[in-house]
Amino acid sequence: MAALSPGAKLGRYEIVSPLGAGGMGEVYLAHDSTLDRKVALKVLPESVASDRNRMQRFVQEAKAASALNHPNIITIHEIGTEPGAHFMVTEFIEGENLRHHLRKPMTLLEAIDISVQVASALATAHAAGIIHRDIKPENIMLREDGIVKVLDFGLAKLTERWRKDEVDGDAATQAFVHTEPGAVVGTTAYLSPEQARALDVDTRTDVWSLGVVLYEMITGRAPFKGETPSDTSALILTAEPPPLAEFVPDIPAEIERIVRKALQKKRDERYQTVKDMLLDLKSLRRELDVSAAIQRSGTAAYASGMTRPALSTGPPPLTSQTSTLVTKQFGLNRSAQLGAAGVLLLIVAGAGWYWWRHRDTDANRIGNLTVTQLLGRKNDLGETFSRHARFSPDAKFIAYASPKGNGSAIWLKQLGTGEPFSNQGERQRDLVKATRHRRTVFQPG
């Protein structure tokens, strides 16, 4: 059928404006007159409606998405048929798709947040036996409030799990729509190696595609991009993407590891489930949050009037390098690391508070110190000849060398009382022996 103009009606839905078009039909913004709400309405072209296989895929998209209940998966309202038109009605998402959003620079935290939400949606779909198979920026919508929605399950494949969960064997067979043997489905730049080779796929194909999207969000470029789709497919099968650090200096090694693991060409070396990838992304997000909190606390202390130290006294940012080092040295997992970081932050803050409260008291104590000269023996010229002074182990005596007659002698003085004395012979040797385990207090001259 021809493109719908604003004001045209399909049942209770009135067309407001076109939103876009794809291989599976045209999408319009429409108004639901019964529930008085905005909806997105996807209309299949006649060529699709008359094609049994493509029509099955259209119905499959609706069934797959409507079977899932997750905040990051688009909500399907209904499937409708009007003379000459088959359509599907979904929630209308106010925002922009990720492809448009990629025109602006993105922060690492933003890329991780989007990936976490997409991975969460895929984990729910996979648990229900559904593989998306077409994860790409065009199928990821960003709402104005930051919520991410995964769209277009038109290429979804229902796995064996769905079939086993079905009570009706015939219904199970009908629900399991096989792709035509040897057919390559999806968008070339985001195809997994097994998709590019037209092999059977499992949930790990979505892990690969999400890894490609995450790479593109961080670097602003696709990891595999040839001049033609065939060249791109060849790169996917044979080439390794450049490291993230080549485009983003000082990128945390942990995000490099996550992306590299998601983009392993051999499925057995890739994340085995998207949930595993999700857990790693969440852990990294928490570490970055802790690091940012520590930096903010240091900035706040400086802004409050405390003297800024020449070197940072806080712990280093919790990058993956420090996280791995802590794990290896102390056997701590990420949760324990975060707990330790929190305790360290409290210790640093407490020490700063204590110093701030007691700085005047400490200064008064130092100012009230009394210094008493313990040794002051002088020769006829008024020179002090007290050398090699040592405390006894019990700190009650001090021994030192000083001239006596034409030679020198060991002098001892009991702290706090009397004059120093020097004996020759056995008593002197005993006293010297008593100071054998000693420490130097000073060495004048």
Residue 28 CA, distance from chain mean position: 37
Catalytic residues: 134
CA angle 290/294/297 to nearest 5° reads 135
Domain ranges of the chain: 1-92, 95-272, 295-305+314-359, 372-445
- Determine the Cα–Cα distance for residues 438 and 230; give it in Å rounded to an integer: 82
Residue 291: the pLDDT is 81
Cα 239 to Cα 130, 220, 225, 243, distances in angstroms:
29, 19, 11, 12
Closest CA to 23 of 42, 4, 39: 42
Cα dihedral angle (174, 180, 185, 191), rounded to 10 degrees? Answer: 100
Q: For the domain 1-92, what is the CATH code?
A: 3.30.200.20
- Is the whole model's pTM more than 0.85, yes or no? no
- Determine the Cα–Cα distance for residues 336 and 141; give it in Å rounded to an integer: 35
Closest CA to 262 of 194, 208, 190: 208
Give yes or no on whether 1-92 and 95-272 have one common fold.
Answer: no
Residue 305: the pLDDT is 55
Fold of the domain built from segment(s) 95-272: Transferase(Phosphotransferase); domain 1 (1.10.510)
Residue 268: the pLDDT is 96
Cα dihedral angle (237, 242, 247, 251), rounded to 10 degrees? Answer: 110
Residue 334: the pLDDT is 54
Beta strands, E only, 275-396 = 387-391
Q: Is the dihedral of CA 342, 347, 348, 350 positive or negative?
A: positive
**Tokens standing for residue 39:** 């909806």
- Residues 294, 345 contacting (CB under 8 angstroms): yes
Averaged over successive runs of 10 residues, the pLDDT of the chain (445 residues) comes to 83 91 80 94 78 77 80 90 83 93 93 97 93 93 94 74 45 37 66 93 96 96 92 94 94 96 97 97 92 72 49 39 42 55 69 65 55 58 61 72 64 70 52 48 43
